[in-house]
Amino acid sequence: MSSVKKPPVFEPLAAGFSAAGHAAGFRVEKFGETPSGPLLALTKRTAGPRPRIYLSAGIHGDEPAPPLALLRLLERGFFDARAIWFICPLLNPVGLARGTRENADGLDLNRDYRNPASAEIRAHVAWLQRQPRFDLAFVVHEDWEAKGFYLYELNRTQQPGLAEPILEAVHTVCPIELAEQIDGFPASGGIIRPEGDPTKREVWPESIYLHAHHTQLSYGFETPSTLPLEQRIATLCTAIETAVGTANPR
């Protein structure tokens, strides 16, 4: 568990996403409920052929920058007509309210996707199963042990991914984690590309569930929790803006 304290911003987050989502033309749906607030999904569809892009945040309550970054992008009007958007910004409201990684039952929700035991992930999986396949997915996190930004890439498209352009843009606002092993995985220049079939693991985080059932290309973003909150938010905004802009220019 991180020793980094949360800022006092979480009580109004669900209301903030709801208000900003409606203002930006999103459908705001409650697909579950917790003692600390609803599980929300924001969707916006534009007629015609568009890439389907999914983003999630807030699954670890001691990682405040990801939901705040998504809210900032939403308020800026970033989620425009170039794509069909699917956003789950608050996957662990209890953890966010308490500043804890786990939910009220002490479960790490990002280890619960293979055979879900938690109400939150059962509800999230049920919602995902009602959606079309995504062309691109982002799961947004922080890492209290990291010294710089890094990312995971799961890519079955047989096409070049987006990792290098993302890191090139991010390094202007945040250091890059250059360790040769990150979180137990071999890494190169801030990129983890897991070897073998990740679905054979006993424990599935959200990214592997998405890889198995919903998308061929996904990214996990990690900022270092020890940096100032504003820098972390800016870093994640830069990563998302660059990735979407590279994959689908305006």
What is the set of domains in the chain, with CATH numbers?
Answer: 13-247 (3.40.630.10)
DSSP reduced 3-state for 59: coil
- Compute the average pLDDT of residues 209-228: 97
Q: Determine the Cα–Cα distance for residues 26 and 158; give it in Å rounded to an integer.
A: 32
Position 12: which residue type? P
Query: Which pLDDT tens digit goes with each residue over 183-204?
Result: 889 999 999 998 889 999 999 9
Q: Specify the range with the lowest mean pLDDT, choosing from 2-11, 33-42, 170-179, 199-208.
A: 2-11
CB neighbours of residue 216 within 10 Å: 17
pTM listed for this prediction: 0.94
